[in-house]
Amino acid sequence: MTAQPQDTRTEGPGTPGTEVLRVEHVAKRFGAVTALTDVNLRLDQGEVLGLIGDNGAGKSTLLKILCGFHKPDKGRIMVMGQEVVLKSVDHARSLGIDAVYQDLALIDQLSVYHNMFLNRERVYWPLLNNRVMKRLARQYLDEMGVQIPSVKVEVAKLSGGQRQAIAVARSVYTDAKILLLDEPLAAMGVKEAALILDLVSDLKRRGNVSVIIIAHNYGQVLQVCDRVNLLQGGQITFDKRSADTSVAELTEMVVAEYRRALEERQRAEGKRPA
Amino acid sequence: MSEITEPRAEAAVPGGPARTGGERPPWLEALRRGGTFLIQQREASVFVVLVALVIYFWLSAPDFGTKLNFINLTQGIGSAYAIVAIGEVLLLVCGEIDLSVGFIWALAPFLMHYFIDFYGIPVPLAILFAWACGAGIGLINGLIRVVLNVPSFIGTLGMSFLLYGLMLVTSNAEAAAIPPRATGFFQEYFGAYAWSEIIWAVVLVAIFHTVLTRTRWGLYTIAVGGNFTGAAESGINAGKIKIGNFMITGWLGAVAGIMEAFRNNTIDPSAGGYTPMFYAVAAAVIGGTALAGGSGTVLGALLGMLVLATLTDGFNLKGISADPFNIILGIAIIAAMVANVYLTRLRRAGRT
């Protein structure tokens, strides 16, 4: 009655190319809670990987391990073929791994261009070279196809999608090679989501940035990702190219999981006295 | 997946679709545009209030328009307090406050007096040392905040008592005369000359307004106060920014204190105290600085202080007692804060 999750991670499909990131047997527990049991994952140059899974499946934990925020209890992480121990977020960033969180780390009170150049300002000492920063920010956002009314507006004035786009643009602009996007499409309208999907497609076309997207909307994931991984119960239980799977298949797999959980609950409740 | 941000999208385009039907006469349209511009310039509304007050008192109090009165008005509250307000604005913007600045104000001229009269240090050096001590006290305030993680409200409250005690103990709570070697040139240029305080205030305001709006330091000050985590994630050393702004404030407190001692021609243990700090915060708020951090304007604080000085001066000239002044001040602060919150929302929504 439940669809058996396909486990193809040992020789998963994917675009052939240089491997930029490889995760082997990573496990992580927080006290009594086991967040990740055995995660194996890889990411190729210029690839966009969709990471889906239920709430609590360990997506965010995995993301925080990859960006250097948490340290894994077990397992190895390889960046550009070299095994690394990520010591901190800054260390991960220096290796080209950058995460864009939902809270985005943007300063609401500052303009778009000041946010884009925060801590990397162009200076005409002792003054900020606002003219150059404005021009570069405009130019860069145009190149990436990010549309905002003006780079001079405060970030607080922008919509959720525009803010996300600015955060992504900032990461890419600062030489991120592996971009981790944490639910970039959450709480976003259709138009907003399209903005981000366009942005990711554009990155993909350029090919020098590899992306892992955590997302919930399978239609959007399939539209923009080259490959989809499903995280269930702390491990990757499904790894297919987007072309080889469908929204129906992904939905069925997750629905099956819900169904199992529901049945367990009902069994447990049945046993309990009313 | 928790909240819906959709309504924000609406506000994405500033100005939005033009709602004017086109039937409005051009002068009305120009007036509307002018109004929009004024609301968007944070300092403009308080400037309008200042101009209105000046015109009102000029017309209603015969002595208001005299040169002597403008000297009275600009010295003291109008400028020495404004110098302190610069520091408070920087601190408020990065999410802190310094309650002890008025006690640095009181201590600094005594330090200068000790350096000159007891240690024989040349006057300019003694002034510099006293300034440096102000900055040093700011450094301690900053370290207590950043390293020991004590909220600045508490840390600087303790520092206030400490400095007050130090000043009373070392001076035997007695006023001292301006050191004879400091009279003349130094006394005149650092406060006693009719326009010297306002000139210092305007120069310092110009410098720090530029620092806050046009330099890296100002950008980081805003970033640290606006989104502490975000600023830290961007690699900004938030502690350094906060400590630096405490030092600037301490230095400005010393500058203002020495200036006032010169102007009053005495080094008085009852000078300073909490009053300059409260006026400084009031002026900052009236000028458009939010206590929540992340936004504020140095120029606005100067204008706010000039508003307070004009009110005090105008009330004096009209023979109104000082008591109702506090009522006006209280209403002004609350009204300014309400306007600040409301206008910020308007500005954010881009509908102004």
Q: Quick check: B351 pLDDT over 60? A: no
* Nearest residue, CB atoms, A187 vs list B1, B233, B350: B1
pLDDT band at B245 (very low <50, low <70, confident <90, very high): very high
- Predicted confidence at residue B6, as pLDDT, reads 36
Q: A126 to chain B: which residues are within 8 Å by CB? A: 215
Ranges in chain A, pLDDT < 70 = 1-17, 102-104, 187, 271-274
Distances (CA, A) of B6 to A220, B3, B24: 18, 9, 33
- Predicted confidence at residue B230, as pLDDT, reads 84
Tell me whether A125 touches chain B (CB under 8 Å).
Answer: no
Question: Is the previous residue joined to B276 through a cis bond, with omega within 30 degrees of 0?
Answer: no
Contacts of B205 (CB under 8 A, 6+ apart): B82, B86, B298, B299, B301, B302
Taking all residues of chain B, what is their mean pLDDT, rounded to a whole number?
87
pLDDT band at B17 (very low <50, low <70, confident <90, very high): very low
Structural domains of chain A in order of their starting residue, each with its CATH number = 9-96+177-271 (3.40.50.300), 106-173 (no CATH)
- Of residues B114 and B9, which shows the higher confidence score? B114
Q: Quick check: B113 pLDDT over 70? A: yes
Mean pLDDT lowest among A48-52, A263-267, B97-101, B324-328: B324-328
* Nearest residue, CB atoms, A186 vs list B1, B210, B223: B1
Q: Quick check: B12 pLDDT over 50? A: no
- Of residues B4 and B47, which shows the higher confidence score? B47
Q: A127 to chain B: which residues are within 8 Å by CB? A: 210, 214-215
Q: Quick check: B352 pLDDT over 50? A: no
* A214 min Cα distance to partner chain B (Å): 12
B348 to chain A: nearest residue by CA?
A: A157
Find, among A70, A106, A73, A62, the residue nearest to A88 by Cα: A70
**Tokens encoding B276:** 């300059």
H runs (alpha helix) in B118-265 = 123-146, 152-171, 185-187, 196-214, 216-226, 228-233, 238-264
| Tens digits of residue pLDDT in B185-223 | 999 999 889 899 999 999 999 999 999 999 999 999 999
Q: Quick check: B233 pLDDT over 80? A: no
Q: Quick check: B5 pLDDT over 70? A: no
Q: What percent of chain B has pLDDT over 70?
A: 89
Distances (CA, A) of B17 to B101, B211, B278: 48, 36, 43
| Mean pLDDT to the nearest integer, B64-90 | 91
Interface confidence: ipTM more than 0.90: no
- Of residues A1 and B59, which shows the higher confidence score? B59
Q: Are the CB atoms for B110 and B170 separated by under 8 Å?
A: yes
Contact flag B226-A162 (C-beta cutoff 8 Å):
no
Structural domains of chain B in order of their starting residue, each with its CATH number = 71-349 (1.10.3470)
- Of residues B127 and A183, which shows the higher confidence score? B127
Q: Quick check: B8 pLDDT over 70? A: no
Find, among A252, A228, A250, the residue nearest to A239 by Cα: A228
* A119 min Cα distance to partner chain B (Å): 6
Tell me whether B8 touches chain A (CB under 8 Å).
Answer: yes
- Predicted confidence at residue B14, as pLDDT, reads 42
pTM higher than 0.90, yes or no? no
Around Cβ A160, how many Cβ atoms within 10 Å?
A: 26
| Mean pLDDT to the nearest integer, B337-345 | 73
Which residues face A111 on adjacent strands? A154
Which residues face A48 on adjacent strands? A211
